[in-house]
Structure 1
């Protein structure tokens, strides 16, 4: 099974503040079929963040998933995460690659920019993230991407494409049909009453 195809579940910061709840929720998401877990924790407790990242790395390994750390290259390195996701204002891709080595997955936020996607592809990114495609509770002010952009990006690159932003199991289908390899979701998975069932609904969109 392609590790860079399927549900890409992103942890909300509020959930990260309670490590036991975080691990239980991520375990449920992985059981439901999540292929990648992004540890997105914007809090400022480095000790807890490292402990959680290491625990999530072990959990992902048991389920055959991959752990991606949001923004923080040093945390990804310390936790031996499978990869890191770089936003617009994070460490440059070239520096992250030099620090993490050739085998670490690096994803890059491209928003609605094919120019940024081309630069990231040329720079050695492993996947490209476009969005937001719909209104997002996690990032309500995010720039919007279109289905037409996604179709163009699919023609433009052979790299895996991640679609993000307000995506539900009900509206993911057209994005996958247009070429999205990964569907990213935070509240759609971890805000659900039953995380495993919510994750399974997303995962079924790929079958």
Structure 2
């Protein structure tokens, strides 16, 4: 398992950017404290996606913050991204691992008990459980809520102790602390970061919320 920091996981999507250049948004998010980035584009051509990933990587070069690609292993390979994040209906995690190699970061989405029980955890580096809350960034029927997140994370951690488990969907400054207090290693955020007027400031606030909630949870334990 490759080390990964899920504290503040920014997901860049041209549909949730207010038309602003993604490299600029990525740079601002990293300056504010993002620890991991993902590029997600459901409508762009393969060439557009490869060019976008290369531009984002150049914008955050030297920061140490990895950039993953949602779904598209071919794009990650062509553009030299650090890895991919796959869903349950995308390329199998084992196939992605064979194509990208042992050093690539591979994340997986999990939303149901069946997925938590049956997913190939030995092939991945982290899981994001969700959707946790309702969101406008993608079709997300049946958000699991904090209690649902906690139950699914418990299954995953029983199966693979030490597996980093984050939370995704509908997370913002009003609810990030609650999901971290429930045990999430971090939060994956789209709109609360990249639809914000000041992306760097939004990232700094979210990073502080996560770290404060993590500290409070540790003190309570």
CA distance in 2, matches of 1:101, 1:58: 22
Spell out, residue by residue over 1:126-162, the C-alpha distance to the aligned partner (whole angstroms, 9 max, x if none).
1111112211010243331132233234433121112
Instruction: Provide closer, same or farther for how the CA distance between residues 16 and 135 of structure 1 changes in structure 2, counting only shifts above 3 A.
Output: closer
Instruction: Point out 4+ residue stretches in structure 1 off by more than 4 angstroms.
Output: 15-18
Q: CA deviation at 1:89?
A: 1.5
CA distance in 1, matches of 2:11, 2:208: 18
Q: Name the TM-score, length of structure 2 as normaliser.
A: 0.84
Q: CA deviation at 1:29?
A: 0.6
Unpaired runs of at least 5, structure 1: none
Q: CA deviation at 1:67?
A: 0.3
Q: Secondary structure at the match of 2:140?
A: coil
**Residue pair 2:24, 2:59 contacting (<8 A) in 1 also:** no
Q: Secondary structure at the match of 1:108?
A: strand
CA distance in 2, matches of 1:32, 1:16: 17
Unpaired runs of at least 5, structure 2: 212-221
Q: Secondary structure at the match of 1:68?
A: strand
Choose from 188, 201, 217 the match for 1:184.
188
Q: Secondary structure at the match of 1:135?
A: coil
Q: Name the TM-score, length of structure 1 as normaliser.
A: 0.89
Q: CA deviation at 1:122?
A: 3.4
35-44 vs 114-123, greater mean Cα deviation: 114-123
Spell out, residue by residue over 1:16-43, the C-alpha distance to the aligned partner (whole angstroms, 9 max, x if none).
796x711111110110111111100122
**Residue pair 1:9, 1:184 contacting (<8 A) in 2 also:** yes
Other-structure match for 2:208: 204
The number of equivalent residue pairs is 204
Q: CA deviation at 1:188?
A: 0.7
Other-structure match for 2:40: 40
1:155 equivalent in alignment to 2:154:
yes
**Residue pair 2:16, 2:137 contacting (<8 A) in 1 also:** no
Other-structure match for 1:50: 50
Q: Secondary structure at the match of 1:34?
A: coil
| CA-atom RMSD in angstroms | 2.1
